[in-house]
Structure 1
Amino acid sequence: MLNLKINYSYKKLDANLWDNSSSATYFTSSNWHDVVLSFYHGTFLTRRLHKPVYFQASFDDGSWILGFFFVSKTIKGKTITFGHLLGPSDYYDLLYSPSITNEQFQVLFNQIQLDFKSRTMQFVHLKASSKCYQAIAQLPLVISTPLSCVAIPLPETYEAYYSSLSKSVRQNIRTAYNRLEKSNLHVQLEIFEKRDYAQINWEQLKQLYSSRNDFRKEKKYWKSQLYFWLDYGFQHEKDMFDFETIRKTDFTLAVLKINQEIAAYFFGFKIEKNIEINRVVINDDFKFFSPGLLLFNEYIKKEIPQIEGIDLTVGDEKYKFDLGGKPHIIYNLKVSI
């Protein structure tokens, strides 16, 4: 049962093999990995210091694991990172058969460490429900760092959802619509998917995101700033909307317009009857009308028959709980030998 066979490759695994494996998150899909690789190939230092390795592992009982990791060389030796490394990738996991066991995971990780002569392994943004996380958490000398995430579980009807919100949030929603009415402004929700790619003004969305987040960016230490400028060749940091690979993803873009101007939008990915959102943007020109609250209210009102949950992913900002969100935890882990 524990006889292990591993095939390594420095080329991406076949997309059919990748996507025929079930997963609990869209961020493990082949199409999203192509977006990550677009970020990666656009760097100078990162792609020289961190090399992606793909693998397929199988055991005698038919159990299997496949995925990728990055190998990095440092002064202290090699580090193996199981994670996306670049891009707004909120979750990570390996793909594996339902029959996989903790012991098989541990045998795999031990063999990878031996094969690449690494003393440190890192795992980034693993869900607590992941079998991969559960296996690593049992290893000795594990340093575990929890991160908060929030997801909104949805009932069967909009009326039930609206009733579940706090009295103050329901009042805020009514106030937002009243302000629009008094200002003689019209609100409209537009939903775009993969087939609508050519209709979307990606540059406008990117600029709105950039202007919204400029003031939020933390000041970098000089070493980090120097690495950043060298990595991007003294150009601006790339955005996921810069890459053609984003058009291949099964995205959902919801745009709230007030009198035909974008007041707010979110971008994410549907997986079964849930949607994982990795970008929410508010236009401050419409802040008086609570556009973020209206965006999700209008989306839920329209889509609730088709979706069971909205995962707002990493971060525990107040608005996520106002919308009815419930917390869940993901983990960063470090294993040293």
Structure 2
Amino acid sequence: MLLSLCLVWLVYESGASQEVKTAKSGKWELSGRVQVQHLYNTSVSGDSTFTNQGFRIRRGRLKIKAKISKWITGKLQMEVRDNSPRLKDAEAKLKLSKRVYFRFGQFKVPVWREELRSSGKLLLVERGPAAAFLAHNLLAARHIGAEFGAELGEQVSIIVNWSNGAGEGGREDAGRSKSGQINNGKMLATRINVAVSRQVEVGLSAAANRLGNTIAASGLDNRGTHWVIAPDFGIYLPSGVIVEGGLALGTLDKKPQGSAEDRRFLLFDIAGSFRQKLAAPRESLAGMDAVEFALGFSFVEPNRDLSDDESLVVRFGPAVYFGRQARLQVNGEIISPT
């Protein structure tokens, strides 16, 4: 049994972003987000290589949004907390009509409802292990590619994404070798989301990632396709209750993994929160104006053909809000491998 407590979760994102206008140009907005965390993990017996019982900057983001014209926008987001800043989002978006868009660059592929939430708007401190499993196996999170999206009326939206399927990329020049994950295949991901009512949404995501490479000198070909199908739902009640969940079924091809057999996986995640606004902000408590409690369950079965390799994770904890842009959240996490 593993018990991990995350004691501090502070989020700040500039609500009144710096706006810059120059003659004959569009509009630029600059904003940022800082998330400070304190971690205590009972599974860490030695702390020489892990930051435990200490503070860390979990995220330090700088984001620039640009409106070039009525039809063209752009976004650039960087992780700036490290000595070597890392690119997170870099996209250009073209509005083709009132309900149709095309964008290209690096951004999140349309898979898994929780993954598509901004890190500053997660129900719990971190995304669950199901989202982490999909991202680790290059079936979710950020990739470099292009995307079409369309709204069919007021209730239905469809997204089709075509990407490298190699995750976030560093600097890459045409014709030169890549410094990170090498994947000369491609990933196709699609999502449909239906607003059943003002309070209920259901979605279905699917992705197929052709991974691996061929090496002419040795005749090696380790190409294979990972795939996933993931239905999900969201419930958003006026009372302050939010419930989101999803199920993922898929297969990891044996060739890119170098294993003897394909791995069939099963993932399940459900999380909810209840937020209650106070009658008035508490000036003696830095303007605290709302309290919240969140609870989540995750089940990860990485290989359905093997027994005793699945895990159940329970995450829970309260939060207090100081306006719309800052919160202090305490989360406990219990991991129970069978």
Task: State the TM-score bracket (shorter-chain normalisation).
Answer: under 0.3
More strand by share: 2
The structure, 1 or 2, with the larger RCO (C-alpha pairs under 8 Å, 6+ apart) is: 1
Determine which structure has the larger helix proportion and give its number: 1
